[in-house]
Amino acid sequence: MRYWGFGVFENDFVGDWVIDLIETDSMNLIEEAIQLALEDAFIEADTASTSEAYQKSVKKQRHYHEHVP
């Protein structure tokens, strides 16, 4: 086990997702994270973690762009 904790980015599944996201030029991983969360009535922990990681990433990026000239 490489990652462990209570935070969104502190689990293996999301850690692998972030590495894949960094290594790709495609938006497919982001689209898949959103689509999986929207499709299912019951969301598995891995799907929920990935979707939450995407949302937190976007939120941090927006915050960064609002405060950098």
pLDDT tens digit string along 20-36? 888 988 788 878 877 87
pTM of the model: 0.60
C-alpha 48/C-alpha 31 separation (Å) is: 14
Distances (CA, A) of 16 to 4, 19, 66: 13, 5, 28
Instruction: Kindly tell me if the per-residue pLDDT of 61 is higher than 80.
Output: no
At position 23, the amino acid (one-letter code) is E
